[in-house]
Amino acid sequence: MSFASLYPRLTATRRIQDMCGTWDFQFDPESIGERDGWTKGLPVPTDMPVPASFADVFTDKYSREYTGDFWYFTKLFVPGEWNDGNLDIRFDSATHHATVFVNGFKVAEHSGGFLPFTANINDVVKPNAWNDVAVKVNNELSWQTLPVGEVHTLPDGTKMSAPYFDFYNYSGLQRKVRLVYTPFERIEDLSVVSHVDPSAKDAVVDYAVATSGSHDVEVVVTDESGAEVARATGKSGSITIPDVRLWQLRDAYLYTFTVRILGEDGVIDEYYDTVGVRTVEVKDNRILVNGRPVYLKGFGRHEDSNIHGRGFDPVVNKRDFENMKWMGANSFRTSHYPYAEEQLYEADREGFFVIDEVAAVGMMKSLMNFMDAATGTGKQKTYFEEESVQTETLEVHKRTLRELVDRDKRHASVCAWSLLNEPDTTVPEAVPYFKAIFDLVREIDPQARPRTYASVMMSPAGVDKTMDFADFIMLNRYQGWYINGGYPIVKGKPMMKAELEKWHELQPGKPIMFSEYGADTMAGVHKLPSVMWSEEYQVEVLKMWGEIFDSYDWIVGEQPWNLNDFQTTEGIMRVDGNKKGLFTRDRQPKMAAHWLRERWIAMPDYKF
Residue closer to ligand GCB (CB basis): 176 or 302: 302
Query: Which among 284, 212, 320, 311 has a CA at the least distance from the CA of 582?
Result: 320
Query: Is residue 578 close enough to count as binding ligand GCB by CB under 6 A?
Result: yes
Residue 7 to residues 273, 342, 344: CA-CA distances in angstroms? 8, 9, 11
Contact 196, 235 (CB under 8 A): no
Q: In the complex, what is the shortest distance from the CB of residue 147 to ligand GCB, in angstroms, rounded to a whole number?
A: 10
Is 422 annotated in the active site?
yes
Query: Is residue 561 close enough to count as binding ligand GCB by CB under 6 A?
Result: yes
Q: Which of 5, 39, 99, 421 binds ligand GCB (CB under 6 A)?
A: 421
**Secondary structure (3-state) at 343:** helix
> How many residues lie near ligand GCB (CB under 6 A)?
10
- What is the DSSP code string of 380-422? SS-GGGSHHIIIIIHHHHHHHHHHHHHHHTT-SSEEEEEEEES
Q: In the complex, what is the shortest distance from the CB of residue 416 to ligand GCB, in angstroms, rounded to a whole number?
A: 17
Tell me the angle at which helices 314-327 and 591-601 cross, rounded to the nearest 10 degrees.
60
Cα–Cα dist 47/137, whole Å: 16
429: left (phi over 0), alpha (psi -120 to 50) or beta: alpha
Q: Between 437 and 476, how does the x/- string for binding to ligand GCB read (CB under 6 A)?
A: ---------------------------------------x
Site for ligand GCB in 306-335 (CB under 6 A): none
Is 516 annotated in the active site?
yes
Peptide bond preceding 147: is omega within 30 degrees of 0, i.e. cis? yes
Catalytic site residue from 422, 535, 540, 558: 422
Q: Between 106 and 125, how does the x/- string for binding to ligand GCB read (CB under 6 A)?
A: --------------------
Cα–Cα dist 395/382, whole Å: 19
Q: In the complex, what is the shortest distance from the CB of residue 323 to ligand GCB, in angstroms, rounded to a whole number?
A: 19
List b or e across 215-247, with b for residues whose CB sees 16 or more CB atoms inside 10 angstroms: eebbbbbbbeeeeebbebeebeeebebeebbbb
Residue closer to ligand GCB (CB basis): 249 or 582: 582
Query: Is residue 166 close enough to count as binding ligand GCB by CB under 6 A?
Result: yes
Q: Between 16 and 55, how does the x/- string for binding to ligand GCB read (CB under 6 A)?
A: ----------------------------------------
Query: Is residue 580 close enough to count as binding ligand GCB by CB under 6 A?
Result: yes
Contact 267, 260 (CB under 8 A): yes
Query: Is residue 567 close enough to count as binding ligand GCB by CB under 6 A?
Result: no
Residue closer to ligand GCB (CB basis): 182 or 476: 476
Residue closer to ligand GCB (CB basis): 166 or 356: 166
Which helix or strand (DSSP H or E) is residue 498 part of? helix 492-506
Q: In the complex, what is the shortest distance from the CB of residue 560 to ligand GCB, in angstroms, rounded to a whole number?
A: 11
Catalytic site residue from 516, 535, 540, 558: 516
Query: Is residue 299 close enough to count as binding ligand GCB by CB under 6 A?
Result: no
**Secondary structure (3-state) at 198:** coil
Residue closer to ligand GCB (CB basis): 559 or 578: 578
Query: Is residue 422 close enough to count as binding ligand GCB by CB under 6 A?
Result: yes
- How many residues belong to the chain? 608
Q: In the complex, what is the shortest distance from the CB of residue 542 to ligand GCB, in angstroms, rounded to a whole number?
A: 14
Contact 596, 315 (CB under 8 A): no
Rg (CA), the chain: 24
Residue closer to ligand GCB (CB basis): 166 or 350: 166
Residue closer to ligand GCB (CB basis): 28 or 565: 565
Q: In the complex, what is the shortest distance from the CB of residue 220 to ligand GCB, in angstroms, rounded to a whole number?
A: 43
Cα–Cα dist 523/176, whole Å: 33
- Environment class of 448 (CB within 10 Å of its CB; exposed 0-12, middle 13-18, buried 19+): middle
Binding site residues, ligand GCB, CB under 6 A: 165-166, 336, 421-422, 476, 516, 561, 578, 580
- By annotation, the residues acting in catalysis are 422, 516
